[in-house]
């Protein structure tokens, strides 16, 4: 005796999501039975829509339901400055904090030769085109402080050499409120290297 | 700027599942974009099916896609013995272990006056009918060792008094392989109370 096939299918589907194992998938599949019909029908429809409606913005590669995303459509922003991020969800964080009013450029991941991800795979030619066409004056690299992030940042600053565009990298260091004792050695090294003189 | 509405809807739906908070819901919703179309279409369909196809077995209250569940349809089992469980998923556990060949009776939860769950709410009249009609000789109560579980077990043994049916409760005690030091006091008390003389 096993579960009815609908439940088995739900378990299989939940298991395909990252971080969800057999036990959790079973619990989630059974919990679906207790959710109201309206939510389930929205859930079912949204899953389908994720394959048909969601696309990438042709300008910045952000998630979008139209050719151009909401941010690129907004003409009131500062068009001389571009923030380069790894994934669409990074944009949401910046926008929530309301700390940046330029435009974004979303890469398709970070350079990682070990994983077979080369410079030509991460939407860089598009970035170069934008820099030239849109007269970008400054690029802020907001990538993960990892080997891949550093490699990608370095590569981008290399390929934009000579274009006259100012390139900066967001600061890596000790997070606010953190105990120095608990910070890993790489972060501490970065924090020391990036020290600022107080005048 | 927020996510496209499809993503926002997915986040809302994932948040309705137990144990899934804002951050995890966002992560899961975005991960949906990376899942193949076939899985997504099965996921979407299964969610819908959960509302239309899944019902309760008219005999034992187990989850089923037809009037009678697979277990109740199986005529080769021992029909004199009934195992009473709280939820359909408890059946799966017993069946996986292949340690019981009678039939089951699934309650609709456990008696809990504090939560407004009274004896008439948990599918007990159906149990009494089955005991009388099917000439059940033994009932095994396999309920949670909690106040609600104990209350429900006691209540069931009371209402079946005089019917001649033998009633037992699965043993509660120290789990195999556990350190006695780490077992809670209630379990230890139960283990002591349910001690068996070695002959």
Q: Are A142 and A84 in contact (CB under 8 A)?
A: yes
Inter-chain CB proximity A50 and B3 less than 8 Å: no
Query: Is the predicted pLDDT of residue A175 greater than 90, yes or no?
Result: no
CATH number of the domain residue B98 falls in: 3.40.1360.10
- Interface confidence (ipTM) of the complex: 0.79
| B51-100: pLDDT as tens digits | 999 999 999 999 999 999 999 999 999 999 999 999 998 898 888 888 88
C-alpha–C-alpha distance, residues B104 and B81, integer Å? 8
| Containing structural domain, residue B159 | 77-169
Contact of A121 with A109, CB cutoff 8 Å: yes
Interface test with A, best of B2, B7, B85 (most A CBs within 10 A): B7
Q: Is A166 on the interface with B (CB under 8 A)?
A: no
R_g of chain B computed on alpha carbons: 22
Q: Which residue of B has its CA nearest to A92?
A: B2
Strands B55-56 and B63-64: antiparallel
Give A94-139 as a DSSP string. Answer: HHHHT---SEEEE-SS--BGGGTB-GGGSSHHHHHHHHHHTT--EE
Q: Check if the beta carbon of residue B2 is closer than 8 Å to that of residue A92.
A: yes
B93, B131: one domain: yes
Is residue A93, in this structure, part of any structural domain at all?
yes
b/e per residue A165-178 (b: at least 16 CB within 10 A): bebebeebbeeeee
Q: Contact, B89 vs A30, CB < 8 A?
A: yes
Q: Is the pTM of this model over 0.80?
A: no
B84 and B163, same domain (yes or no): yes
User: What is the tally of structural domains in chain A?
Assistant: 2
pLDDT over 90 percentage in chain A: 67
| Same-domain pairing of A140 and A84 | yes
B174 within some domain: no
Q: Are residues A86 and A26 in the same domain?
A: no
A105 in Cβ contact with A136 (< 8 Å) = no
Task: Report how far residue B16's alpha carbon sits from residue A195's, in angstroms, rounded to the nearest whole number.
Answer: 45
């Amino acid at each position: 005796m096993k579960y009815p096939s609908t439940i088995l299918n739900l378990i299989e589907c939940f298991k395909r999501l990252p971080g969800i194992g057999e036990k959790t998938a079973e619990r989630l599949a059974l919990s679906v039975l207790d959710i109201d019909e309206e939510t389930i029908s929205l859930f079912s429809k949204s899953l389908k829509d994720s394959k048909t409606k969601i696309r990438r913005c042709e300008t910045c590669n952000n998630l979008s339901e139209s050719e151009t995303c909401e941010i690129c459509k907004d003409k009131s922003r500062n068009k001389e400055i571009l923030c380069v991020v790894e994934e669409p969800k990074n944009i949401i964080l910046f926008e929530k904090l309301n700390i940046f009013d330029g435009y974004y450029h979303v890469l398709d991941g970070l350079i990682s030769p070990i994983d077979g991800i080369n410079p030509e795979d991460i939407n860089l030619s598009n970035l170069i085109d934008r820099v030239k066409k849109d007269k970008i004056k400054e690029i802020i690299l907001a990538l993960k402080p990892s080997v891949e992030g550093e490699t990608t940042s370095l590569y981008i600053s290399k390929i934009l050499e000579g274009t006259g565009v100012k390139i900066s990298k967001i600061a890596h260091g000790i997070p606010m409120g953190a105990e120095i004792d608990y910070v890993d050695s790489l972060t501490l090294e970065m924090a020391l290297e990036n020290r600022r003189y107080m005048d």
